[in-house]
A and B are shown apart, each in its own frame.
Chain A
Amino acid sequence: MSTNNLSEKAHAGTTGKKIGFFRELYINKGLYTMLVPGLIYFCIFSYLPLVGLYFAFVNYDFMAGWYGLKSTFVGLENFVFFFTSDQWITITVNTLWLNFLFISTGLIVQIVLALCINELSGKIFKKSTQTVMFLPNFLSWTVISVFSLALFGSDGGFINNVLLFFNIDPIMFYQDPAVWPAILVILRIWKGAGFGTVIFLSTISGIDQEMYEAARIDGANRLKSMYYLTLPMLKPTIVMLLIMSMGSVFAGDFGMIYALVGDNPLLRPTTDVIDTFVYRALRVNNDIGMSSAVGLVQSALGFIMVMTTNAIARKIDKDTALF
């Protein structure tokens, strides 16, 4: 490599001197080559499936050729079919309602726990409880479904065993759709608490300690400094987490719900979400047209949600916006 070439290379980056498109590619060929595998990967696994959004507008037939893209075009028929079915309201409401519950209860529990942990001073106690709280985060929903069988099982499940001890009638958890939103929320809190508290604790650790001393001198007790000092300092983090979760309010947690509820039709009225519905339409009923139509609506709504919340956040405070 000539020295001339090298000095040019250093220039290209720092000054952005006008050089040709191909010249720039050539100069930075090493770096561009490194990018190739990753870019090809994203092309295939993120951008190629976008072509498949077209399946939402056809009467899918694999034999038609081009992986089914040559199937007959039917316009919005698949969408009409979905929106005239009586299921679409159930699954949309379930998805939004469950996500609302997950986000709100999750945040509240995580904030309260973080505030409490912050007050603790015993080092060993603090560390060991945090380790224990963090543990469920690493378990898969399939393993948790085994646990939930032990907890909520009708015959001898732990909770029914406790109820029996107090002479209370057992609850048939796996046959009663009404209790499932609560069960899902509890398990979700249980799994996510450790992860969330870490985020809040790291924010709290950045708060200037002198502020607490000042507050103390001004006569604030422990509760007051928690409420008037620590909590407001957590606001940016809360807003950021809220924005990040807004993008997925239309996305049902398939991994969680399918693992816990499975194919149990009794529980569908309260637990069937868009993602489990799409999965069933694809794998059980083989209705490719409708499941892609639902998927497209879901992706589009999710995209709109991210864009809107981000725009709102940007308007309120530039620093809280994600992009």
Chain B
Amino acid sequence: MAKKERKIQQMSGKNNKMLYNSLSDKLLLMFCYILVAVFSIICILPLWIALVASFTNEGELMRNGYTLFPSKIDFTAYKMVFTGTSSILNGYGVTIFITVVGSILTVFFTALTAYPLSLKVLRHNRVLYFFIYFSSLFNGGLVANYILTTQFLKLGNTIWVLIIPGCLSAYNFFLMCNYFKTLPASVIESARIDGAKDVYIFLKIVLPISKPILATITLFAAMGYWNEWNKALLYIDDAKLYPLQYIIMKMQNQIDFLTSSYGAKALEALGDVALPTVTIRMATAMITIGPIILLYPFLQKYFIKGIMIGSVKG
């Protein structure tokens, strides 16, 4: 079936090519190629410039400015980042921890909440569904959340404040619910009639056949946690708990933070050099996005799938 469809698609693709062969059509096609190519280059350009800058000597960067190619490769910035005293490595640890724990909690509890409501078995199904939906329409605002988190729940300055608020969201809940609704009802129904407990059905039958959506939600969540800094800005004062993104944020805004987080020790270890304040920021940004760039080509299809599921119906 799939093969046949692909064949039809290929044929129509060929037809498509044969259909248009006048000069104006060819010009338009050329325009499309150029536009897409130029836009792609623009997409990658800022990344490239920052990458080059991170491998440039600070003094040279000051003299020549940012360029497309380094005249000489220099590792000072990376050496600074990876000296034992830097807070970047600690930040990496925090970020990895919140990403791993946060994504697991998000995907598990989203699935756990979405499954019962996707079944249409519960009588109060619609009320409960709306209960979750309404949370995406109206919220208490920043102040109420701030007071709730810091004073009522006392989560301020703990690692959990970076994980728990925002762990479950109505959006992920809908994605998951919509997917569960597409599962064959007969499988679940017959398991129920055979006397299987709901928890057992959920863990042993539903989760294993829902791998695509679990992968998508896990990736969305992991992305969110990896890029997390808003909550650190609001709730974290303890430098040991700063995630990577927030460290970059601080470096951007406060030059003393940058100096203090590398400290005199790192400078001594590298010999007497002036602290490369700009190239260090570039290097830190590169190290932060490194894992994303390495993993993302393999994961891209799950993201695309997720966007498509999400765009079918709000």
Interface residues of A (CB under 8 A from B): 1, 6, 9-10, 12-13, 16, 24, 28, 30-35, 37-39, 41-42, 44-53, 55, 62, 67-68, 112-113, 115-117, 119-121, 125, 128-129, 131-136, 138-140, 142-151, 153, 155-158, 160-161, 164, 190, 193-195, 198-199, 202, 209, 212-213, 216, 221-223, 226, 237, 240, 244, 247, 254-255, 258-259, 262-263, 275, 278-279, 282-283, 288, 291-292, 295-296, 298-299, 302-303, 306, 322-323
Cα of A322 to Cα of B61 in the assembled complex, Å: 51
Find out whether the CB atom of A1 lies under 8 angstroms from the CB atom of B314. no
Contacts of B314 in A (CB 8 A): 240, 244, 322-323
Top-9 shortest CB links A-B: A52-B144, A49-B140, A156-B65, A38-B113, A295-B141, A30-B198, A46-B135, A140-B227, A13-B121
Find out whether the CB atom of B139 lies under 8 angstroms from the CB atom of A32. no
Q: Which of B112, B146, B151, B249 contacts A142 (CB 8 A)?
A: B249
Contacts of A150 in B (CB 8 A): 46, 49-50, 53, 66, 282
CB distance from B190 to the nearest CB of A (A): 10
Q: Which of A42, A55, A116 contacts B168 (CB 8 A)?
A: A42
Find out whether the CB atom of A262 lies under 8 angstroms from the CB atom of B139. no
Find out whether the CB atom of A49 lies under 8 angstroms from the CB atom of B43. no
Name the residue of chain A whose CB is nearest to the CB of B123. Answer: A24
Q: Does B89 contact A (CB under 8 A)?
A: no
Please count the residue pairs between chain A and chain B whose beta carbons lie under 8 angstroms apart in the complex. Answer: 325
Q: Which of A39, A136, A258, A263 contacts B43 (CB 8 A)?
A: A136
Cα of A320 to Cα of B178 in the assembled complex, Å: 17
Contacts of A47 in B (CB 8 A): 135
Contacts of A128 in B (CB 8 A): 40
Contacts of B292 in A (CB 8 A): 138-139
CB distance from A273 to the nearest CB of B (A): 13
Cα of A16 to Cα of B121 in the assembled complex, Å: 9
| Contact A41 B245, CB 8 Å, known A52-B147, A120-B33, A134-B303 | no
Beyond A150-B53, A288-B143, list 12 extra A-B contacts (CB 8 Å): A10-B193, A12-B123, A39-B131, A52-B143, A55-B144, A140-B288, A143-B248, A149-B281, A161-B66, A212-B19, A295-B142, A299-B141
Find out whether the CB atom of A120 lies under 8 angstroms from the CB atom of B307. no
Contacts of B20 in A (CB 8 A): 216, 221-222
Contact segment of B75-83, B268-276, B293-301: B293-301
Q: Does B197 contact A (CB under 8 A)?
A: yes
CB distance from B230 to the nearest CB of A (A): 6
Contacts of B164 in A (CB 8 A): 45
Contacts of A240 in B (CB 8 A): 311, 314
Find out whether the CB atom of B115 lies under 8 angstroms from the CB atom of A50. no
| Contact A143 B288, CB 8 Å, known A28-B122, A67-B152 | yes
Contact bitstring B110-140, A, C-beta under 8 A = 1, else 0? 1011011101111100001001111101111
Q: Which of A146, A156, A292 contacts B64 (CB 8 A)?
A: A156
Q: Does B28 contact A (CB under 8 A)?
A: yes
Contacts of B25 in A (CB 8 A): 221-223
Cα of A41 to Cα of B172 in the assembled complex, Å: 14
| Contact A259 B198, CB 8 Å, known A139-B289, A151-B46 | no
Q: Does B195 contact A (CB under 8 A)?
A: yes
Contacts of B160 in A (CB 8 A): none
Find out whether the CB atom of A13 lies under 8 angstroms from the CB atom of B50. no
Cα of A16 to Cα of B281 in the assembled complex, Å: 62
**What are 23 sample pairs from A and B whose C-beta atoms fall under 8 A apart?**
A6-B195, A31-B121, A31-B122, A34-B112, A42-B135, A53-B144, A62-B151, A113-B35, A128-B40, A138-B227, A138-B296, A139-B292, A156-B62, A158-B66, A198-B304, A198-B308, A209-B12, A221-B22, A259-B252, A275-B142, A278-B141, A282-B142, A282-B146
Main secondary structure of the interface of B (DSSP, over half): helix
Cα of A9 to Cα of B117 in the assembled complex, Å: 16
From B13, B112, B166, name the one whose CB has the most chain A CB atoms within 10 angstroms: B112
**Which residues of B185-223 have CB atoms within 8 Å of chain A's CB atoms?**
189, 192-193, 195, 197-199, 202, 223
Q: Does B183 contact A (CB under 8 A)?
A: no
Find out whether the CB atom of A55 lies under 8 angstroms from the CB atom of B37. no
Contact bitstring B228-254, A, C-beta under 8 A = 1, else 0? 011001100000000001101100110
Contacts of B249 in A (CB 8 A): 142, 145, 259
CB distance from B187 to the nearest CB of A (A): 14
Cα of A258 to Cα of B153 in the assembled complex, Å: 26
Contacts of B113 in A (CB 8 A): 34-35, 37-39, 41
CB distance from B296 to the nearest CB of A (A): 6
CB distance from B220 to the nearest CB of A (A): 11
| Contact A116 B122, CB 8 Å, known A39-B128, A55-B143, A198-B307 | no
CB distance from A25 to the nearest CB of B (A): 9
Q: Which of B29, B192, B311 contacts A222 (CB 8 A)?
A: B29
Q: Does B259 contact A (CB under 8 A)?
A: no
Find out whether the CB atom of A291 lies under 8 angstroms from the CB atom of B285. no
